[in-house]
């Protein structure tokens, strides 16, 4: 694999990481909107299955949103930025 093919591959992988990051944030936005507008409905379903108070239900959702956001940043945004920085430095040196 020559250097141009390697740069092209890294650029494609970076694009995949960016798309995954954006999809995770779309999921987070959907989760937040559903929790905001359909929270009572979701709580009534979950309370039938598990012994959850309203406070516990809210905590599970807030922690889930926070965990998903942190994972999206660590696993998708940081690798994307790292690849882009490496490619920029590589292009600057050539």
* Entry pTM: 0.88
- The pLDDT value recorded for residue 93 is 84
Torsion over CA: 65, 71, 77, 81 (sign):
positive
- The pLDDT value recorded for residue 23 is 98
Residues in the chain with pLDDT < 70? none
* C-beta of residue 47 within 8 angstroms of C-beta of residue 57: yes
Residue 28: phi and psi, rounded to 5, are -65, -40
Instruction: Give the C-alpha separation, 79 to 17, whole Å.
Output: 7
Torsion over CA: 18, 23, 24, 28 (sign):
positive
């Amino acid at each position: 694999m020559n250097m141009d093919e390697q740069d092209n591959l890294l650029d494609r992988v970076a694009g995949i990481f960016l798309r995954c990051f954006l999809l995770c944030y779309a999921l987070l936005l959907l989760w937040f909107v559903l929790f905001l507008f359909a929270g009572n409905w979701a709580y009534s379903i979950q309370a039938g299955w598990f012994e959850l108070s309203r406070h516990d239900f809210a905590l599970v959702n807030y922690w889930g949103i926070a965990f998903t956001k942190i994972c999206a940043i660590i696993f998708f945004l940081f690798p994307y930025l790292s690849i882009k920085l490496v490619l920029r430095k590589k292009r600057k040196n050539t």
